[in-house]
């Protein structure tokens, strides 16, 4: 019994960087997001495809490498993506609020298909839950979530193998009420998870008077864990000597609204990749 639609894992991409011409080291996570454009017919819909990750992943970088699995069992392939054009201008887009750690870059989905790459899309009209949708679904503290990504560079040997961590929503009502930009999850987050998608854990039970979230929805993008500091005090001077920073187990997540805001910003700029046609799924996974 699967709780995560298998194609959700095909939406997740490893992001790496090369130093001094060396083999890319995979240091972050991203995912493919399809912004719905139109229905072509009863069987196909068109989407504009974007790679979504954190702003801090792309910041100060000139080029990134994306690692995809081909169809069949062939080894993973790497694709270089320029993050600066010839004039030095960024080819990617970030949120207007610098505190919102979200970035997107246009991806040519048809090229990936022509190259025989296996990939999926989080479709904006079928697989996502904005603030309003999350409120309608009754999503609240304690609900289960999954974090998908590549912590500590664990991308797999021959092919990408996504690492799935399970957690719970720790605080979200302030975000749903638009009093906070982000929400918190209780989940183990490590370097490499940056930019990973957070999806709901389907449930068939709920307490009386509340709803059960019985489908997997993309809720947002993880940014970083929240650290706490422990201070070592000198017994002789009674002054701080060493400060240790530890992982609190809580992590910050930016909701779908922030992602869609950056996508709309990118769509307003000419030169984005052509639409990608996919088979209609007919609703949430």
Q: Where are the domains of the chain?
A: 6-279
Residue 163, pLDDT score: 97
Place of tokens 């270089």: 80
Distances (CA, A) of 85 to 61, 66, 81, 89, 92: 12, 18, 11, 5, 10
pLDDT for 42: 74
**CA 60, 250, 96 angle in degrees (round to 5)?**
40
Kindly indicate whether the domain formed by 6-279 is annotated with CATH number 3.40.50.11030. Answer: no
What is the full per-residue pLDDT of the chain (285 aa) written as tens digits? 578 999 999 999 999 999 887 889 999 999 999 999 888 777 788 999 999 999 999 999 999 999 999 999 899 999 999 999 999 999 999 999 999 999 999 999 989 999 999 999 999 999 999 999 999 999 999 999 999 999 999 999 999 999 999 999 999 999 999 999 999 999 999 999 999 999 999 987 777 777 778 889 999 999 998 988 788 787 788 888 788 778 889 999 999 999 999 999 999 885 556 677 665 544 444
Pair 29, 194: CB distance under 8 Å? yes
Place of tokens 């060396």: 22
What's the pLDDT at 211? 75
Q: What pLDDT, on a 0 to 100 scale, did the predictor assign at position 1?
A: 59
Full-model pTM = 0.90
Token pair in block for residue 239: 């002054």
| DSSP state at residue 15 | E
Please say whether the beta carbons of 61 and 17 come within 8 A: yes
């Amino acid at each position: 019994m699967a709780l995560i639609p298998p194609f959700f894992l095909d939406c997740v991409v490893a992001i790496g960087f090369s130093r001094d011409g060396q083999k890319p080291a995979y240091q972050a996570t991203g995912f493919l997001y399809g912004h719905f454009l139109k229905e072509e017919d009863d069987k196909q819909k068109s989407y504009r495809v974007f790679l979504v990750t954190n702003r801090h992943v792309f910041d100060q970088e000139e080029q990134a490498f994306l690692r995809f699995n081909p169809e069949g069992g062939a080894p993973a392939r790497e694709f270089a993506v320029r993050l600066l054009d010839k004039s030095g201008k960024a080819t990617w887009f970030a949120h207007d609020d610098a505190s919102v750690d979200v970035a997107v870059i246009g991806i040519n989905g048809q090229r990936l298909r022509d190259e025989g790459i296996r990939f999926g899309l989080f479709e904006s009209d079928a697989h996502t839950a904005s603030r309003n949708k999350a409120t309608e679904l009754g999503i609240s503290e304690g609900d289960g979530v999954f974090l998908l990504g590549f912590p500590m560079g664990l991308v797999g040997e021959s092919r990408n193998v996504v690492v799935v961590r399970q957690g719970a929503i720790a605080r979200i009502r302030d975000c749903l009420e638009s009093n906070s930009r982000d929400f918190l999850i209780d989940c183990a987050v490590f370097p490499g998870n940056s930019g990973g998608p957070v999806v709901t854990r389907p449930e068939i039970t709920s307490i009386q008077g509340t709803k059960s979230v019985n489908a997997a929805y993309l809720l947002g993008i993880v940014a970083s864990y929240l650290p706490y500091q422990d201070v070592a005090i000198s017994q002789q001077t009674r002054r701080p000597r060493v400060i240790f920073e530890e992982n609190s187990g809580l992590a910050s997540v930016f909701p779908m609204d922030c992602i869609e805001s950056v996508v709309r910003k990118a769509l307003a700029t000419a030169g984005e990749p052509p639409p990608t046609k996919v088979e209609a799924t007919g609703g949430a996974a």
